[in-house]
């Protein structure tokens, strides 16, 4: 099952002003508490003072293309079953460089399907990473995205604690 989480935190800029950030992630998990455990585990190295603003169950029929970089796009597919005269929509999440790339990757993903499928919407998603506890590809992609966020300055220290390097000698 897929869950979407929202995490917020504050960072102080070079001028001493505080700025708030909210980040969203997608998790493959079995329960809300499993997602919460994942959040604390996977964000531990980058964020030390954050708040979980929400966790919600989301329905994605497919989540694909790890380790390609870029953003995540929500792709809506209309499936028409001509035998039973039924139509249904399904949501998919794909990592891609842009909207055109997301559409191309989704068409490639659908190429073996027997039903009539049409991509009816491609929208950039606010999701910044996908955590899949049993897929090394997705874990490596997630860690790479976290490193990119840290490199861009989006990593926090605990605002209530000082980090004191006790093992290092003090200079006079």
The confidence score (pLDDT) of residue 23 equals 95
pTM for the complete prediction?
A: 0.82
Is 86 within a domain? Answer: yes
The confidence score (pLDDT) of residue 168 equals 65
Alpha-carbon span 141 to 139, nearest angstrom: 5
Total count of domains within the chain: 1
C-alpha closest to that of 70 among 22, 127, 134: 127
Q: Which residues of the chain have pLDDT under 70?
A: 82, 157-172
The confidence score (pLDDT) of residue 157 equals 56
Is 75 within a domain? Answer: yes
The confidence score (pLDDT) of residue 66 equals 77
- Count of other CB atoms within 10 angstroms of residue 143: 15
Alpha-carbon span 104 to 4, nearest angstrom: 25
Q: Name the residue range of residue 38's domain.
A: 2-151
Is 54 within a domain? Answer: yes
Is 163 within a domain? Answer: no
Is 170 within a domain? Answer: no
The confidence score (pLDDT) of residue 12 equals 84
The confidence score (pLDDT) of residue 68 equals 74
Is 169 within a domain? Answer: no
């Amino acid at each position: 099952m897929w869950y979407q989480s929202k995490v917020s935190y504050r960072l102080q800029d070079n001028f001493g002003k505080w700025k708030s950030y909210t980040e969203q992630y997608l998790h493959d998990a079995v329960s809300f508490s499993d997602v919460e455990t994942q959040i604390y585990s996977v964000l531990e190295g980058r964020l030390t003072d954050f708040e979980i603003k929400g966790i919600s169950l989301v329905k994605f029929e497919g989540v694909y293309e790890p380790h390609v970089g870029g953003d995540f796009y929500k792709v809506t597919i209309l499936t028409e079953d001509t035998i039973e005269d039924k139509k249904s929509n399904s949501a998919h999440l794909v990592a891609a460089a842009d909207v055109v790339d997301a559409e191309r990757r989704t068409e490639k993903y659908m190429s073996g399907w027997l039903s009539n499928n049409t991509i009816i919407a491609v929208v950039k998603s606010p999701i910044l990473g996908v955590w899949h506890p049993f897929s090394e590809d997705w874990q490596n992609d997630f860690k790479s995205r976290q490193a990119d966020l840290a490199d861009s300055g989006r990593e926090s220290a605990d605002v209530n604690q000082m980090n004191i390097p006790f093992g290092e000698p003090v200079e006079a």
